[in-house]
Amino acid sequence: MKEIGTYEDYLVDVKKGIVTDLGNCPVTPLLQMLQGKWKTQILYELCIYDVVRFGQLKKELPGITNTMLTNALRELEADGFIHREQYNEIPPRVEYSFTERGKDLLPIFYEITKWGFKHEIK
């Protein structure tokens, strides 16, 4: 894993071009994983509740279909951001929570939240 140092180091290094071992912009993979209307909203709900069930997400995200929610959850799980725990009960119960990788996004979301309030369109 590459280290970029401080923010001041980053501002200097980015002018030279910071790329991953694959030659990509280091931000691109994350943005590709989070693209779409619902993924960041699902992660936001996990910030609020820590553990959330499918029905609760469906209720909190008006306009999302079962298929869209299922697909977004599967993709977030495949990308390692959330953990899916299925309980063998009647009726079946499935809970979603952050993985460690997902929790690593929280400081980033904090900074984006600050930016959002600073540049809020009124």
Burial of 54 (0-12, 13-18, 19+ CB in 10 A): middle
- The predicted pLDDT at position 2 comes to 67
Higher pLDDT, 29 or 77: 77
Whether the Cβ atoms of residue 96 and residue 82 lie closer than 8 Å to each other: yes
Q: What does the pLDDT average to over 84-113? A: 93
Which residue has 């390692």 as its token pair? 80
Q: Mean pLDDT over residues 60-85, rounded? A: 97
The pTM (predicted TM-score) of the whole model is 0.85
Residue recorded with tokens 């009960």? 89
Q: What is residue 31's predicted lDDT score, i.e. its pLDDT?
A: 87
CB-neighbour burial class of residue 72 (10 A; exposed 0-12, middle 13-18, buried 19+): buried
